[in-house]
Amino acid sequence: MTGAPVGRADALTSWHADWTGLRVAVLGLGVTGFSVADTLTELGARVLVVAEKAKQEYIDLVPVIGAALVQAPAGEIPAELEAHEPELLVVSPGYHPDDPLLLWAAERGIPVWGDVELAWRVRDKVVDAVTGRPAEWIAVTGTNGKTTTTQLAASMLLAGGHRVAPCGNIGIPVLDAIRDPEGFDVLVVELSSYQLHSTSSMSAHSAVVLNVAEDHIDWHGSFEAYAAAKARVYDAVQVACVYNKADELTMRMVEEAEVVEGARAIGFGLGVPGPSDFGVVEGILVDRAFLDERRDSALEIATVTELAARGLAAPHTVADVLAAAALARAYGVSIEAIRAALASFTLDRHRIEHVVTAGGITWVDDSKATNPHAAAASLKAYPSIVWIVGGLLKGVDVDPFVRDSLAGARSPVRAVVVIGVDRAELGDAIRRHAPGLPLFEVDHAETSDVMADAVALAAAVASSGDVVLLAPAAASMDQFTDYADRGDRFAAAVRKHVGGTDGDDDLPAPDPQAGR
């Protein structure tokens, strides 16, 4: 055996440590996997990338950066990997914990990191010229709202005059951000449960778990394992643990977290805030955490009416604004800068996105609602809904979600159109909990036909004043490339159905108090 001694990887906690010759296997060659391989080869490690498939551009670049690549079928332990005798595996987020490659590593005592763990260890590649410190990290996770909150927090920090980059699960690998030669004051890092599962060293400036509901059970194996992965974001937090007052589990996570002494717990919610919280008072978002007189006064952030003008007034979006403001305030951003950021902020596409209003019927694309928790939040935003739902359920039990969304006279749903490969499970739950509700199914296997039929069925039952809401509560990969493809096809089908008009009415504003 040649190269570095076994066990050396654990001691490597700086970009400036000696990584030379460390034998590393990188699992996966997507955006994340390539950023890992590129970083490690720059550090001087000997890198073997193992992937089932990859884009040709990445395949072509692997030898250019000085790494090797072996493509092997899923579940196979390639001979090249065994011959490489890795001292470290760095795994891309898509690999299940019980993947044969990871079990193979565990049997041999090979440490397994994710890209976030590697990035935290080498975050000192670029440091501030004055302080000599690397960029601080603000960590964002939760079942839903991660991307919106990450973008909001980053925009607030930018308005406050800080050099900031949103990165991580949002699409920009955190390793690319920490290697940017210009450097940053702070990174707002969106973290999935997959990434947190393989992270153990991170000590963020501040962190938030926005909410926790059943999701990715097929990957983690249980809800408890999924929640435990989310809770890791609070480990060793330095300044502020932000939690959701409406989600008791996030509060317990903060209570049980081992944090740096002096770190504060900051709650957010849609009700009147306590003296260390962010909340809403008579339609005004306020900060009662970061001011000296917080026991008997508050600072005004924005009004719900102002947020509505930016499409930010849905209850779950108001909660995201409060969480982002708490993170920004914990970093020292002024209320004035936060107001300025909100005045120009817009949501991503496919997040409660208005497609068109015609004939009194409004069509809304929330294709990014890829799990029941996200869809439930959307259903609370409008008073009368024809709901298009379904896709790949990812092992989640939808019965409680359907019961809570449809049972009872207060449900806003007037009719349901079910799509996707798991529509039978959804249809059974709907019939069980709302037997009198009009229910339609789209049984086309061809992607090109799904949304045209779903839109036609929804239009046939919708009336003036209704919102036809695409909130699938499921992943998209059964029939579409991704949630964006699903949303784009929905929007195209809607516009074709209404004849290309931009509509004759205004979008009805979501009720910001509906989720309280």
The DSSP string of 38-77 is HHHHHHT-EEEEEES---HHHHHHHHHHT-EEEE--TT--
Check if the beta carbon of residue 71 is closer than 8 Å to that of residue 56.
no
Token output for 42: 């720059």
Give residue-wise pLDDT tens across range 272-290. 999 999 999 999 999 999 9
Rounded to whole angstroms, the Cα distance separating 244 from 454 reads: 35
**Percentage of residues of the chain with pLDDT beyond 90:** 77
Axis crossing angle, helix 315-330 with helix 372-379, rounded to the nearest 10? 110
Scanning the structure block, which residue is given the tokens 């969304």?
405
pLDDT of 219 above 80: no
Tell me: pLDDT of 504 over 80: no
Instruction: Provide the whole-model pTM.
Output: 0.78
Among 6-20, 110-124, 208-222, 294-308, top mean pLDDT goes to 110-124
pLDDT digits (tens, 9 = 90+) for 53-101: 999 999 999 999 999 999 999 889 999 999 999 999 999 987 888 899 9
CA distances from 55 to 37, 316, 478 (A): 15, 36, 21
In whole angstroms, how far apart are CA 277 and each of 255, 380, 441? 15, 23, 44
Classify residue 354 as left (phi > 0), alpha (psi -120 to 50) or beta: beta
Helix pair 31-43, 56-65: axis angle to 10 deg: 10
136 neighbors 205 (Cβ within 8 angstroms): yes
DSSP E strand boundaries for 2-135: 23-27, 46-51, 68-71, 88-91, 112-114
Written in H, E and C, the secondary structure of 423-472 is: HHHHHHHHHHHCCCCCEEECCCCCHHHHHHHHHHHHHHHCCCCCEEEECC
Q: Is the pLDDT of residue 1 over 50?
A: no
| pLDDT range class, residue 500, cuts 50, 70, 90 | low
Give the residue among 188, 191, 186 at the shortest CA–CA distance from 162.
Answer: 186
By the 8 A CB rule, do 421 and 245 touch? Answer: no
| Residues facing 417 on adjacent strands | 388, 440
Residue 17 and residue 88: Cα distance in Å, rounded? 16
* Residue 359 CB neighbour total at 10 angstroms: 14
Going by pLDDT thresholds of 50, 70 and 90, the confidence category of residue 513 is very low
Q: If you ran DSSP here, which 8-state letter would residue 392 be given?
A: B
**Are the CB atoms for 141 and 233 separated by under 8 Å?**
yes
